[in-house]
Amino acid sequence: MNCSLITGPVFEFHDRPGHIECHDRLRAIIAQLPAGIPVSSPVAASEEDLLRVHQPGYLAWLHRQCALHTTNDMVDEYGCSAGYFTGNLYVPGFLDANTYVNPRSYEVATYAAGSAIAATERALNGGSCFALVRPPGHHAASGWAMGFCIINNTAIAAAKALGSVDRVAIVDWDLHHGNGTQEIFSGSDRVLYCSVHAEDLFPFTGAAIGTGTGAGRGYTVNAPLLPGSTIGDYAHVFSDLFLPVLERAHPDLLIVSAGQDALSDDPLSVMGLCPADYGTLAGLLLDTLDLPPAFVLEGGYGPSHPAAINAILRAVEGERSTGPVPAPSDATRARVRLFRKLHGIH
């Protein structure tokens, strides 16, 4: 199976130099991509696409926050009307302590969401695709922004796909729990959301007992892991929890919220993954499910992040590690036994 890419220069216009989620991270990935891989230009999501996931009032508010504050004589290219108070201090240009915007951010976010949609359409047509986009999205809920995310790219792509398929599965291997994606689909039995993430780390959500609500009960599968976890622990979660749940759900589409910030050299990481490990995780999905994945970039900020992206691309093309996967820790084995019982896997 071959993998194509979607990315382009539009993503540089959502930027804040010095911020960890700046365009340099995407520029580094693009500079180290293998030669010959097909790359398509980003496409924008429509307002109808955004409204399948986000509240109209939130989108209107967000659009206003990204409007240029033309009455400010000292504004520069990145000046904007957004800002928030912390105590008596007003912080301009941010929606919260982590999430910045500028006058182009809303527009750029629509291209991130639209490119995620395009990646899923390619996957439905039989070809794996990686949407190398930013800003990331999995912390953005239906009515609020947080954690560098303002629009939920993966959720928008999944919601659009539900117009033509019955069930969608989202696997989120970002270091952080995708609280926004969980919030959006918590009550749905048409979207299976599986997240492996660090326990007690931002955004401090993703407990295993959160399994969905109403009709969606059982369709949220959270696997919080202890800091210091390695590929042995992650692979055990996949093989003994995620893959059985995915096979039981019979999804028509697989989307991966691909955040590679569990790498050991990532400045946000508390985990011990190396770049090749993401190829291992991708390979487990590819070898078990007869579905070409659509990958959508989430986090990943360290120097080895481009190598992890390349490991995923090689896995899609059929490369597999010949070495054994390390055994999981006893703590992870115990957790996964509890997770399996919680989700009725015998």
Catalytic residues: 139
**What is the spatial distance between Cα 173 and Cα 278, in angstroms, rounded to a whole number?**
9
> Taking CA 91 as the corner, what is the angle to CA 179 and CA 89, rounded to the nearest 5 degrees?
115
User: Residue 295: beta bridge partners?
Assistant: 130, 256
- 3-state SS class at 256: strand
Q: What is the dihedral of CA 193, 56, 137, 243, to 10 degrees?
A: 10
Residue 108 tokens, joined: 């750029």
Contacts (Cβ under 8 Å, ≥6 apart) of 345: 240, 241, 244, 245
Burial 50-65 (b: 16+ CB within 10 A, else e): bebbbeeebbeebeeb
Q: Determine the residue type at 339.
A: F
Q: What is the dihedral of CA 42, 3, 277, 31, to 10 degrees?
A: -50
**What is the spatial distance between Cα 171 and Cα 310, in angstroms, rounded to a whole number?**
19
**What is the spatial distance between Cα 342 and Cα 108, in angstroms, rounded to a whole number?**
40
**What is the spatial distance between Cα 295 and Cα 313, in angstroms, rounded to a whole number?**
10
Query: Which of 249, 256, 254, 253 shows the shortest CA–CA distance to 343?
Result: 249
Judge residue 261's burial from the number of C-beta atoms within 10 Å of its C-beta, 0-12 exposed, 13-18 middle, 19 or more buried: buried
Q: Determine the residue type at 146.
A: M
- For 80, 99, 145, 162, 258, the CA distances from 65, given in Å and listed in that order, are 7, 12, 12, 30, 28
User: Residue 198: beta bridge partners?
Assistant: 225
